[in-house]
Amino acid sequence: MKSKLKNIVQTLFFICLGFAFIYWFWQKLGNEERVQIWQSLKQTNYFWFGFAVIISLLSHYIRALRWRLMSETFNSKVSRTNSFLAVMSGYLTNLAVPRLGEIVRCTMLKKSDNIPIEKSLGTIVTERVIDMLIFAFLLLFTLIIQRDLLLNYIERNFNLNINSLFQLAIIGFVCLIVIIALFFAFKRKITNNKSYNKIKNLLIGFLEGIKSILKLKNPLLFIFYSLLIWGLWIAGTFICFKCLAETQCLNIIQALATTVIGAFGPMITPGGIGLQPAIFAEVLANYDISRAIGYVVGWLNWISSQIGTIIVGLIAFVYFSSKKIIKNQ
């Protein structure tokens, strides 16, 4: 009962947080900008929008193929259909209850293919590790190739210049040295702390997840799928640029920067609701796109990714509800 109440409170909190971001950004807009948003939505090219929906679904399908590869590590062969629909049921669940989708995804595969839930969860940890590593690489790459624009954005919005950032870097380095020194000075007490052991186990899990790739029959195909997923996300943003006349001039590099920075949205609110469009607006402002137009692009990108999730996710629940648990042979 306590667990259910905790999930309900957690879900309501994150949903409210998402709507709080919507309200916060909407209050920042002037009347002219609000009118511009409604006009842009009316003038949206829905051919390109439909294409963005297809690209989003394709990225989910590639994720399912990648997950299917991982089932081979415990001598199981999952069908493409079961893998894809299990992924979609998980995504749909995450919109309602953050992080519960991973459990639902594994439960569906247990029901359809009798894959042990604990083994499926282990593969999801590996997925998350790889996705975070690629995200970190793309973020660093973006910071390098878009350095001037991002520095101007930081200086404009946070009153920081390059000297301030350099000073912060020095302070951060000194703090790191102090933390390391304190760790060795109080190593015995720290290693007996529960929080320390949780962090340690998490890092060990990350390392094990990376090592598990070597057990795959085709690790290169796994890496290709991982890169393709991010490539499709970037392509989806680029296609959303085509939906509005004001953003058709933007290129794939700008789509990369917008996608990578926008990825922080889903890390904070369910599916990035409220926050992701706001981030898009702030990033695109660096490319002389008005906040109103940037906000519309952000919403088009968010909606295009959620339409397929909702429709196919509901189909997935109906599909698995008709399945009977397969017993071990």
Query: pLDDT of 88-107, one tens digit each?
Result: 988 888 877 777 778 888 88
- Residue 23 exposed, middle or buried by CB count within 10 Å (0-12, 13-18, 19+): exposed
What pLDDT is recorded for position 279? 87
- Residue owning tokens 């998980």: 90
Report whether 296 contacts 278 (CB < 8 A): no
Q: What is the pLDDT of residue 203?
A: 66
Distance CA 283, CA 304 (A): 19
**17 with 266: CB under 8 angstroms?**
no
Q: Which are the contacts of 134, defined by CB distance < 8 A and separation ≥ 6?
A: 226, 227, 230
- Residue 328 has a pLDDT of 46
Domain boundaries, the chain: 40-150+218-321
pLDDT of res. 329: 42
Stretches where the chain sits below pLDDT 50 are 327-329
Burial 124-134 (b: 16+ CB within 10 A, else e): bbbbebbeeeb
